[in-house]
Amino acid sequence: MRLDFSAAAPSPWRVYGQRLDSRFLIGSAGYPSPAVLAHAIAASGAQVVTVGLKRELAGDAAPQHGDAIAMLRAVCDSAGARLLPNTAGCRSAREAVLLAQMARELFDTRWIKLEVIGDEHTLQPDPFELVDAAAQLVRLGFQVFPYCTDDLVVCRRLLAAGCEVLMPWAAPIGSGQGVLDPAALRTLRARLPGVPMIVDAGLGAPSHAAFAMELGYDGVLLNSAVAQAVNPPQMAMAFAHAIAAGRLGFEAGLIAPQDMARPSTPCGNEPILVD
């Protein structure tokens, strides 16, 4: 058998017509400095970087915000990465639609990571406001990346509203718990084949990301696990390897787990008799 080493990289994928070779989407918040953020993005190989908006006048902004954004734009331009603005902090469809319109102007993109939070403690998305906001934004020409729960029916409603990608959570934002409900994510993947889906939020370790990718998810979006690591660029690289490994494993075809042993050495069932 001849080895094809091009197969050592996961296959490219598309979201809203955009080809992406990396399956790692990375957040830009909470890094120790803009320089560390730049190194982490480079180490991640990510082609999508999330950003946000804050209610402040440019002159009043903390200087590090301006530095980080200027650096982010430069790093993303040179790497060919796209910015994905979010609607973090929104509690209603009305707020989210307004913030998305502002984001489109500020970042010059139709892409929007739609966040509409329904609970302060878990930061769980509000499914009703989320679907309402998604439908409005699609009508306004946005390409919506909804941050949602792993509820199949809500996901179907988001698709019906015009979303072409889904971003179910693994666990509450920033909790680092990993995939809390593998069965729900398996169900989503099985019932919505062909829909680009990104596991977003709650991952804490590279192994969590590999697991999500082995379930057949198309990508992983995370922030805190890298930004709050002792060495963010190194952690970004660790996640990049894990995400690629998980995807390769999925594409290669995992064996089905079973309760009983199956001998791997084909020595037959005859006992080995030593005279």
Partner 1 sequence: MREGDDVFAPPRVTPANVLVNGSAHPWRLGLTVADVLVERGTDDESVATAVNTRFVPRTARHETPLWPDDRLVVFSAIVGG
Instruction: Residue 264: count other Cβ atoms within 10 Å of its Cβ.
Output: 6
Q: How far is the CB of 222 from partner 1 (least distance, A)?
A: 8
Question: CB-wise, 44 or 86, nearer to partner 1?
Answer: 86
Residue among 43 and 68 whose Cβ is closer to partner 1: 68
Euclidean distance between CA atoms 50 and 129, whole angstroms: 21
Q: Could you tell me the smallest distance in angstroms from the CB atom of residue 65 to partner 1?
A: 5
Query: Least distance from C-beta 70 to partner 1, angstroms?
Result: 9
Phi, psi of 111 (to 5 degrees): -70, 140
Choice between 34 and 216, CB closer to partner 1 = 34
Of 10 and 85, nearer to partner 1 (C-beta) is 85
CB nearer to partner 1: pick between 2 and 55? 55
Q: Nearest distance from residue 32's CB to partner 1, in Å?
A: 12
Distances (CA, A) of 87 to 34, 94, 263, 267: 22, 11, 53, 60
Q: Which amino acid, residue 118?
A: G
Active-site position among 23, 39, 113, 157? 113
DSSP state of 59: G
**Using CA atoms, how far apart are residues 234 and 208, in angstroms rounded to an integer?**
16
Which pairs from 187-193 meet CB under 8 Å and 24+ separation?
A: 187/150, 187/152, 188/150, 188/152, 188/155, 189/215, 189/216, 189/217, 191/152, 192/152, 192/155, 192/156, 192/159, 192/166
The radius of gyration computed from the CA coordinates of the chain, to the nearest angstrom, equals 21
DSSP assignment, residue 205? S
Cα–Cα dist 8/4, whole Å: 8
Instruction: Report how far Cα 176 is from the mean position of its chain's Cα atoms.
Output: 14
Smallest gap from Cβ 27 to partner 1, in A, equals: 3
Is residue 113 annotated as part of the catalytic site, yes or no?
A: yes
Give the interface with partner 1 as residue ranges (CB under 8 A). Answer: 27-31, 37, 50-59, 61, 65, 68-69, 72, 85-86, 88, 94, 98-99, 101-103, 105-107, 173-174, 223-224
Active site residues: 113
